[in-house]
Amino acid sequence: MVTKSAEKQQPSPSASGKSATKWIMTLLSSSLGQKFVMGITGLLLCGFLVVHLAGNLLVYVGADAYNTYAHDLHSMLLLPVAEVGLFLLLFAHIALAFKLTSDNRKARHISYHEKQSKIEEPPSFFGKTPMGRTSSWMFLSGSIILIFLIVHMIDMKLHLNPAVTYTVETPEGVIEADPYSIIVQVLGSWSAAVYIIGTIILGFHLSHGFWSAFQSLGLNHPKYTPWIRKFAILFAAVIAIGFASLPIWGLFIH
């Protein structure tokens, strides 16, 4: 007991308060601080998803609407800044996920012979999966989404999908194909399968992540938390169905 506690002594609180930046470091290295960052980045990424989905749904309006949107978006001066920001958000979210998951594995260094949940009623469709409740496989769902994102980047950013023709020959020479034709090709290609799986898994991820972010940020209230939890399901469903509809449309309808 005595020796144990000596091993696990924290530095005296007075020493930690002195430096102007030290408190930030303690905050960011603490379990709660890291969860806080997870929550904030997650919610901001949710915001991005809403904008992204709204833009993409213009596909259904028609080629012109979509092309205009894409053109206007890409001519925004601040777009690269926003993209860097988005990348940083994603990076922080993913890096922390790896760090926290590794810490968590260490905390349960020996696993149980048998483990069963004591939660009786899963809250929704998203709660019942072969892997158990959504909350228990967030790292897995996140990893699948990461693979999906990589494919998505290859398709849409790096333009390396072999099944897609990214250029068109015009009398003026070879120019980039219009965004609508690219998206139609991508959604009709083998990537579509990855997109369908990826967006559905994203829905699972959000159904827990959206609500969970509020919990991690300490934003709970007996009156509002039940609504946030319901909204998380709705939000996850809208995002998943909205995005998944695109490859389905690309594959079967268009």
Residues 97, 138: Cα–Cα separation, whole Å: 9
Is 141 in contact with 204 (CB distance < 8 Å)? Answer: yes
Own/partner contacts of 221-227, CB < 8 Å, gap of 24 or more, are none
Task: Kindly tell me which of 133 and 152 has the beta carbon lying closer to another protein.
Answer: 133
With contacts defined by CB under 8 A, how many residues of the chain interact with another protein? 52
Site string for another protein, 138-167 (x = CB under 8 A): x-----------------------------
Q: What single letter denotes the amino acid at residue 248?
A: I
Site string for another protein, 10-29 (x = CB under 8 A): x--x---x-----x--xx--
Task: Kindly tell me which of 27 and 193 has the beta carbon lying closer to another protein.
Answer: 27
Residue 122: count other Cβ atoms within 10 Å of its Cβ. Answer: 15
Sign of CA dihedral 237, 36, 138, 93: positive
Residues 79, 69: Cα–Cα separation, whole Å: 13
Task: Kindly tell me which of 34 and 245 has the beta carbon lying closer to another protein.
Answer: 34
Q: Which of 56, 143, 181, 225 binds another protein (CB under 8 A)?
A: 225
Task: Kindly tell me which of 30 and 167 has the beta carbon lying closer to another protein.
Answer: 30
Residues 98, 110: Cα–Cα separation, whole Å: 19
Q: Which residues bind another protein (CB under 8 A)?
A: 1-2, 4-5, 8, 10, 13, 17, 23, 26-27, 30-36, 100, 103-104, 106-120, 133, 135-136, 138, 208, 211-212, 214-220, 222, 225
